Amino acid sequence: MALNQKMYYTYIIKSQSNGKYYVGYTSCLTQRVSVHNSGKNVSTRFGAPWNLVYSEKFEDKKSAWLREHQIKSYKGGEALKS
């Protein structure tokens, strides 16, 4: 891995207000969770506050995206929600 290579993350956040989960991917995990908590994301606007419950690191965007879709293909993402 190169020193300045951008890393990507697949993540799961859980709503403190309604108990729902959201799965996504990003290149800046802390900033992305902040966006979810700010109400600026349409999909998560009504679930704030959100807590990060799981993340995986990847060296490329495609791998993170594929992992996100793999998790979403599980029935409700149950495999990683416990």
The amino acid at residue 10 is: T
25-60 per-position pLDDT tens digit: 999 999 999 999 999 999 999 999 999 999 999 999
Tokens in use for 53?
Answer: 């419950």
Domain locations in the chain as residue ranges: 1-59
Residues 6+ apart with CB under 8 A from 70: none
pLDDT band at residue 3, thresholds of 50, 70 and 90?
A: low
Q: What is the largest CA-CA distance in the chain?
A: 41
Cα distance between residue 30 and residue 79, in whole Å: 23
